[in-house]
Amino acid sequence: MSTALSPLLAPMLSSAAMRAVCDDEAYLQHMLDFEAALARAEAATGVIPANAAGPITKACKASSFDLADLADADAARYVHWGATSQDVIDTAGMLTLRAAIDALLPDLDRAIAGFAKLAHQHRNTAVVARTWLQHALPMPFGLKLAEYAAALHRSRTRLQRLRSEGLALQFGGAAGTLAALGDKGLLVAEKLAQELKLPLPDAPWHTHRDRIAEAASVFAVLTGTCGKIARDVSLMMQTDVAEAFEPSGEGRGGSSTMPHKRNPVAAATALAAATMAPNLAATIFAAQVQDHERSAGPWQAEWPTLPNLLLVTSGALAAIVDIAEGLQVDVARMRANLEATGGLIMAEAVAMALAEKIGKNEAHHLVEAASKKAVTEKKGLRDVLTKDPKVTAHLSADKLAKLFEPMAYQGASQALIDRLLASLEKK
């Protein structure tokens, strides 16, 4: 279960909490938890002697692992009774996934709260909405921030659903029939599930890996959302845009040779993780194709892949927490960028107002021609329109002036912000 990330890179690409979850000793402890719980369940159902459970449970502590304790002459015969190695490894994987979700949820809460707070603060801050990386329309910056919070909240919901519904005990013995336990197989399975606080599936799932694949998809989606936010922030931090910045400090974001640089280092971490996660998830998806009742190869491919997916997901989210709680917004620069095209960003607003008077097609052609003239003659669009009698016949100078106020053309944006923020309260 150990990460393939080097000790040098692991702190950059993962959180300390997730590294603890994916640590070899932690995984060993999950395997030992299975063995101890199995012994207690089988003792309780009369499969093994009652006095065997205590020594086995005592020996199942990874931090003080002692072969002498484990090799208790009377109890050792009953360790792993009726189980197979895949039962231990898969159930340990389920316990690891549960711990991983618990490690991610606090960071998710912080990121969601951070962006929600920023959305409230900037719901009336106008910014350029960009499509195909070009200026499109004005929008409230708060809407963009509320969308970040809501997308992260959807991942939170997925994680919670995965924790409550997607995890399951693995216990089937050599071929998934529990034959070694005779008529007590299901009774032991029920007690084992209770001991580990894992749902008991209808049957063992040794070569049906849809649960693992679903988990991988949930983590990959979260990492992708983090990557989307990071992409936006890195673009907003460009020198030519300079609208918003991730937090900076001594020794952070600078260049080794260029003293003036302020690099998007948190965004880079999230983007690196978002680049890795889809391929890790793809390996898990490919590993679903397994043969008969126990498979050789695809199952083993999950072992290094899943913990690395957990690690990079945690790194992406930790970076986004950093951004959500420390984003610095330059409102004046946002306004300047809105005006950078000489009013062209308000062309749709004018065209729609004209359309009410002369129809959509004619209005579109009029404003399109005026826009081209403004670009060619290096004039403001409003100046060109106020001198066009075909326009002023329907729109007064005062009406045109109002049409060039960015926050006057935001449609349902404020209602959308409210709806997005309200969605954060849904459990």
- Residues with catalytic roles: 255, 294
Give backbone dihedrals phi and psi of 127, rounded to 5 degrees, phi first: -145, 160
Cβ 229 vs Cβ 323: under 8 Å: yes
DSSP 281-329: HHHHHHTT---TTS-SSHHHHHHHHHHHHHHHHHHHHHHHHHHHHH-EE
Paired strand residues for 140: 126
CB 380 within 8 A of CB 374: yes
Pairing of strands 328-329, 126-131: unpaired
Tokens 């101890």 — which residue? 36
- Give which of 287, 274, 165 is closest to 222, Cα–Cα: 274
Burial of 192 (0-12, 13-18, 19+ CB in 10 A): buried
CB atoms within 10 A of CB 230: 25
Burial class, 384, CB count within 10 angstroms (exposed 0-12 / middle 13-18 / buried 19+): buried
Helix or strand run (H / E) with residue 352: helix 347-358
* HSE, side-chain direction, 13 A CA sphere, residue 160: 12
Residue burial 205-217, b: 16+ Cβ < 10 Å; e: rest = bbbebebbbbbbe
